Amino acid sequence: MVVGQNIQEVVRRENKMKKLLMIFFYSVLVLSSNAITELELYDLQMKGRSGDVEAMCEVGRVYRNGEGVKKDAAKASEWTRWASSKGCIRAKGLCFQFGYGVATNTSEAVKCYRKGVEEGDVKSMFLLGYCYLRGSGVPMDAAEAAKWLRKGAELGDAQSMNLIGHCYHNAWGVPKDDAEAVKWIRKGA
């Protein structure tokens, strides 16, 4: 009976750990929203109007994802196309990916993200990794996705940190490693 009780105890502890991990992932993904305040959005818009292409891209992302504001595809398109017109290669890729002012073309979007990566743009690393993870514009390749997400995460991109954490948790292109998953998701929160 001692062996059976020990096995039951191990299973009980393992189930408890799984529940704790799920609670942690839920709290990171759902409760710690990346929503910005009206004042932060206003500040970004003012920077964008002053010619800051990173701010233009960020405003586009906020409207595209509905972070702290109602989702608004028209405003997302407007801000992203504006950044693209100012030479932001990542914004040009987003225009192709979402069909902002051009026909949707995920292969062209990937080309833009690759160029952005060559220029050292960490957000392009995230977008390229995401495309590989989904098979959008490139063949699905979780290992290649993890490579770019890890690079973006190591350079400080919060979205890359979050997604590489999920790669480790789900063994997408990397060995399953919940400790590594928690580490990256915490850093990206």
Alpha helix stretches (DSSP H) within the chain = 2-26, 38-49, 53-65, 73-85, 89-98, 106-118, 122-134, 142-154, 158-170, 178-188
Q: Give the Å distances, CA to CA, from 157 to 121, 148, 163, 169.
A: 10, 11, 10, 19
Average the pLDDT over 19-23 and give the result: 55
pLDDT > 90 in the chain, percent: 70
* Tens of pLDDT, residues 80-97: 999 999 999 999 999 999
How many C-beta atoms lie closer than 10 Å to residue 7's C-beta? 10
The whole-number pLDDT of residue 28 equals 47
In three-state secondary structure terms, 164 is: helix
